Amino acid sequence: MTDATAQSPEPRKQSSLISSDARTAKRNAAEKRFRAYGLTAILMGLAFLVVLFVSIVRSGMPAFTRTVVDVEFVLTQEQFDASEKELFKTKAYSNLFIAELQDQLTASGLSIDFDAKAIERLLGKVGGTLREHYKANAADLGKPVQFELAASSRVDGYFKGRVSRDTLQDSRFLMLSDLDLVDALEEVGIIKQAFNWTFVTGADSGVDNPGGAGIGASVVGSFFMMIVVLVLSLPIGVAASIYLEEFAPQNRLTDLIEVNISNLAAVPSIVFGILGLAVFIQFMHLPQSAPLVGGLVLTLMTLPTIIISTRASLKSVPPSIRDAALGVGASKMQAVFHHVLPLAMPGILTGTIIGLAQALGETAPLLLIGMVGFVARGYPEGIVAGFTEANSAMPAQIYTWAARADVSFYEKAWGGIIVLLAFLLTMNIIAIILRRRFERRW
Amino acid sequence: MNDMRILERKVAANDIKISASNTQVYYGDNHAIKDVSIEIEDKTVTAFIGPSGCGKSTFLRCLNRMNDTIDICRVEGDILLDGEDIYDKRVDPVQLRAKVGMVFQKPNPFPKSIYDNIAYGPRIHGLANSKADLDVIVEKSLRRGAIWDEVKDRLHAPGTGLSGGQQQRLCIARAVATEPEVLLMDEPCSALDPIATAQVEELIDELRVSYSVVIVTHSMQQAARVSQKTAFFHLGNLVEYGDTGQIFTNPKDPRTESYITGRIG
């Protein structure tokens, strides 16, 4: 100290606050550049998100509508009796239906010739549908009944732009002349677009019937799997992390466990699929394609995520809270369960739901354990109520559709993605709400 | 409470509450407390002073086995509370901590209501049989913590919403709610302003009537103001222990003298 005062200080350089010197200017420029980078990065991310969202919605929305022939039809008791006496009963119903269509077209001043074959190409076996309806509901006889009949997927494609007059070649599925009929029916308002309940509630269909394919059954499959995952991974994961974080001594063994849990979180999901196939199906003989097995495999995958996030949130609880609890004579367990865990709850819940969301979107392991079970009938009979019965899962179903040759399945795959995203969005919203609710200041 | 008359302060001989002999504490290879022997009296405020890192907080935390939570910490030697070795294998640290309460450096109320903060200890120790009992305990404790008048109208407001000084008095009230016999305070006023400090010091003086209070402090003025006995720690050693008046006016050890006159530390 004395040294400093002994030497005469060097004359101070005069500087103005108004004009910045070179160093400051350089620093400010660097900061501006960095801000620009950051902003660009965010804008690019947003742009990608918008592109993704728009393309999903554009490609997927058509899956939620279908083309139907909506027609009012009256069948008298006499017509019914007469038709039942015929040799080809459904043929008789079909002819009556065609006559009715013809009448309605003529009434609107349009005259167009078509035969039963054309109607079959457009609507499939109409006669059978009508007959079944009247046999089941005899009371409807003589009264006008509104029929909504699904058009074939090619006609559907004509409305959605997959099929056009320029590219269509006459085949047993659809003739060019049929499109004239379709146009005429649309003009009269008989053919129109309606919400596709089959897609929302139904099960997968055969490869040649994209119109009847639905995601409903696999939604149920995914739901059962998520229940298995939640019930298994939340208690196991939270118990494991509490033990590791609060009770376990710090030694080589716990270090090893810790490293392995981190590694486990990075293991490719297909490895878990093979493990599940070998252990749960081949060794333990659990049923194939069952939500139970799918859930077990996804539990293995979700556990590390839950453990890591739970440990992180336990760690973030200030140690002073533990001290306070121990200081008034709480046991270690009381301190953890009364004070630490409630404070860590928002983090644990968020981690759990993120883990579940990850599991919900996982495809590869499900394909390996055969979670592509084919449920033949739609809602409500087709909804498989059980953990051990064969079912499908949303992402596996989407994958199956995307891999099929018929282009109309492509649209279904996109539609399935919308449903999947809706579920993920819901789960994230729940996570945010839970976070808000449990969050407390300290 | 007057600096100028510490010599004349009445020092009554009380029973020995805590007696430590040849205590050693190690943090891994680091020998943090070296051969400390001390006898802490009942119904007395004992102050631990010394420079940072001298081991006074470590030794304080040995007295209710808070060091158990640190894996690498090892305690040797005997520490007797009322003649019983608190490091005996049969001793449950939870029971010990109910007898030896602790107040920490940073106010650390639970993120719960004021009422629940106080009621937590009595609840887990089963001190109250009914809601009415608990209400009585809460009121008594808050009165002892000299904070009742400030919070009686908002017992169900969060404890974390109080000011720093109020939070610390709440923590003291929480510590006395379990009816401890000894109260350990680890720099309870270091985060408080002078007015709150004065309130807490006054409170400590009142608590002396029923408890043996051990306080760690960095402020020598505070030690002189509140304590009857003072222990000076330096580099893990207990350098000098005696009546506060004697330590501050007539220290026997040259290191103590250097410290209290501001030359080391």
pLDDT above 90: percentage of residues in chain A = 30
- Residue A430: its pLDDT value, please? 87
A254 in the same domain as A163? no
Of the listed ranges A339-353, A387-401, B35-49, the least confidently predicted one is A387-401
Whether residues A328 and B95 touch (CB distance < 8 A) is answered with no
Place of tokens 């005696």: B242
**Residue range of the domain that includes A416:** 216-438
Which residues on neighbouring strands pair with residue A392, listed in sequence order?
Answer: A372
A163 in the same domain as A237? no
A110 in the same domain as A66? yes
Query: Is position A25 within any domain?
Result: no
ipTM comes to 0.84
Tell me the mean pLDDT in the region B33-45: 90
Residues of A with CB under 8 A from a CB of B: 249-250, 318, 320-331, 334, 338-339, 343, 440-442
- Residue A117: its pLDDT value, please? 80
Whether residues A326 and B171 touch (CB distance < 8 A) is answered with no
A349 in the same domain as A255? yes
pLDDT above 70: percentage of residues in chain A = 95
> Looking at beta carbons, which residues of chain A come within 8 Å of B101?
327-329
Dihedral angle over CA of A278, A281, A283, A284, nearest 10? 140
Whether residues A323 and B104 touch (CB distance < 8 A) is answered with yes
- Residue A31: its pLDDT value, please? 95
The Cα of B74 is separated from the nearest Cα of chain A by a number of Å equal to 14
- Residue B12: its pLDDT value, please? 59
* A335 — pLDDT class (breaks 50, 70, 90): very high
Distance between CA atoms of A248 and A76, rounded to whole angstroms?
A: 81
Domain with residue A235: its CATH number is: 1.10.3720.10
> Looking at beta carbons, which residues of chain A come within 8 Å of B125?
329
Mean pLDDT of chain A: 85
Distance between CA atoms of B103 and A69, rounded to whole angstroms?
A: 80
The Cα of A324 is separated from the nearest Cα of chain B by a number of Å equal to 6
* B117 — pLDDT class (breaks 50, 70, 90): very high
Strands B30-41, A191-195: pairing is unpaired
User: The whole model's pTM is what?
Assistant: 0.80
Q: A45-75, pLDDT tens digit by residue?
A: 999 999 999 999 998 888 888 888 888 888 8
Strands B16-27, B73-81: pairing is antiparallel
A171 in the same domain as A141? yes
Distance between CA atoms of B196 and B207, rounded to whole angstroms?
A: 16
- Residue at which a domain ends, from A195, A226, A249: A195
Taking a C-beta distance cutoff of 8 angstroms, is the pair B231, B46 a contact? yes
A319 in the same domain as A274? yes
Q: Is B214 on the interface with A (CB under 8 A)?
A: no
* A220 — pLDDT class (breaks 50, 70, 90): confident
* A1 — pLDDT class (breaks 50, 70, 90): very low
Chains A, B: CB contacts within 8 A come to: 70
Q: B131-189, pLDDT tens digit by residue?
A: 999 999 999 999 888 889 889 899 999 988 898 888 988 999 999 898 888 999 998 88
Taking a C-beta distance cutoff of 8 angstroms, is the pair B138, B177 a contact? yes
A283 in the same domain as A220? yes
Tell me the mean pLDDT in the region A360-376: 82
A366 in the same domain as A233? yes
- Residue A155: its pLDDT value, please? 85
Closest CA to B237 of B58, B17, B44, B19: B58
Q: What angle separates helix A341-360 from helix A407-438, to the nearest 10 degrees?
A: 180
A386 in the same domain as A263? yes
Which residues on neighbouring strands pair with residue B232, listed in sequence order?
Answer: B49, B240
A395 in the same domain as A351? yes
> Looking at beta carbons, which residues of chain A come within 8 Å of B185?
none
Which residues on neighbouring strands pair with residue B80, listed in sequence order?
Answer: B19, B85
Query: Is position A208 within any domain?
Result: no
Q: A90-129, pLDDT tens digit by residue?
A: 888 888 888 888 888 888 877 777 777 888 888 888 888 8
What's the number of domains chain A is made of? 2
Q: Is it the case that residue A223 has pLDDT exceeding 70? A: yes
Q: Which of A254, A328, A440 to mutate to test the interface with B (most CBs of B within 10 A)?
A: A328
Nearest CA in chain A to B92: A331
A112 in the same domain as A188? yes
Distance between terminal CA atoms of chain A?
45
**Which own/partner contact pairs does B118-122 have at CB distance under 8 Å and 24+ positions apart?**
B118/B142, B118/B170, B118/B173, B118/B174, B118/B177, B119/B177, B120/A325, B120/A328, B120/A330, B120/A338, B120/B174, B121/A328, B121/A329, B121/A330, B121/B174, B121/B175, B121/B177, B121/B178, B122/B177, B122/B178
> Looking at beta carbons, which residues of chain B come within 8 Å of A322?
69
Query: Is position A273 within any domain?
Result: yes
Query: Is position A378 within any domain?
Result: yes
- pLDDT: is A17 or B19 the higher one? B19
